[in-house]
Amino acid sequence: MKLLVCIKQVPDMDSKFRGTVDGKWFDDNDIAFRINEYDEYAIEEAVRLKEQLMNEPIITVISVGPKRVEDAVKKALAMGCDKGVHVLDDAYFEKDSWQIAAVITAFARGKGFDLIFTGLQSQDRGSAQVGGIIAERLDYQCVTTVVSFSFNDGTVLAKRELEGGLKAIVKVKTPAVITCQLGLNLPRYPTLPNIMKAKRKETLTFLITDLLKEKALLVTEKIYAPPKRGGGVVLEGDVKTMADRLIGILKDKTTVLR
């Protein structure tokens, strides 16, 4: 059995972002990077399945991006994946979901992957499209927004999160693509022995031109920060005084809006 996990290295969301000169992406200087949170759930679920099946599956982890993405691949290997694939691309931010999925399917096609795990979406772009496109291009079953996963004899039983707090239970045969939602599991921390073992695991490097033959269908023209909001007003005093002041403020704002 073969498993593929697709991960992305994204900026730490607590970083201070500045746009590039051309305004098409953010300046990644002085920004800390980490594995996309949704993708950590995908890694953990693949590793748990490997443990369930007595270490029989081989887990390959793949990521597209510049040289620093090697750190994300190494962490995935330290978490329990067996092989790493780094598709080197310094202009990764120019690639849309269609192109990223094309790269992954170009690598995966013909290799007999039974299950492909991805995060539900990336924390930087948030398109939630790559997993579905991979499934379409490979003609795999696809289950998205998975919050519970089990596997038995070639069949996946998954619980999906729907709008309004609803859940749906679905059953599919492999091969299939699974996109992982927050809360699916609790990703493990790599232990020191596993970090040392990861250094000896195989990692292949491809150039983006080796795998990508598709043109972008979506082009990012500009990114920009939302306008700054005005400061809030803190009311102090007894309840009656604060209530009177609040009513006055609301009346003033209502008058202005009119």
* Model pLDDT, residue 190: 94
* Model pLDDT, residue 222: 84
Return the structure tokens found at 258. Answer: 């009119």
CA dist list (Å): 196 to 90, 181, 189, 191, 201: 28, 29, 14, 9, 10
Is the residue at 168 inside a domain?
A: yes
* Model pLDDT, residue 56: 84
Q: Distance from first CA to last CA of the chain, Å, rounded?
A: 66
Is the residue at 63 inside a domain?
A: yes
Q: How many domains does the chain have?
A: 1
Is the residue at 48 inside a domain?
A: yes
Task: For residue range 43-93, list pLDDT tens digits in order.
Answer: 999 999 999 998 888 999 999 999 999 999 999 999 999 999 999 999 999
232: CB partners within 8 A, 6+ apart: none
* Model pLDDT, residue 256: 57
- Name the CA radius of gyration of the chain, rounded: 22
Return the structure tokens found at 116. Answer: 């492909």
Is the residue at 191 inside a domain?
A: yes
On the CB side of 199, CA atoms within 13 Å amount to 5
Give residue for tokens 């993405």: 69
Is the residue at 156 inside a domain?
A: yes
Residue ranges, the chain, pLDDT below 70: 255-258
Q: Please choose, from the candidates 31, 28, 8, the residue with its C-alpha nearest in 3D space to the C-alpha of residue 20.
A: 28
* Model pLDDT, residue 225: 76
What is the domain extent for residue 107? 2-211
What pTM, to 2 d.p., does this model score?
A: 0.85
Is the residue at 70 inside a domain?
A: yes
- The neighbouring-strand residues paired with 155 are 152, 173
Is the residue at 228 inside a domain?
A: no
Sheet holding 176-180, edge to edge: 167-173, 155-161, 141-152, 176-180, 115-119, 2-7, 58-65, 83-88, 203-207
For residue 25, the domain's CATH number is: 3.40.50.620
Is the residue at 244 inside a domain?
A: no
Question: How many whole angstroms from its chain centre is CA 61?
Answer: 13
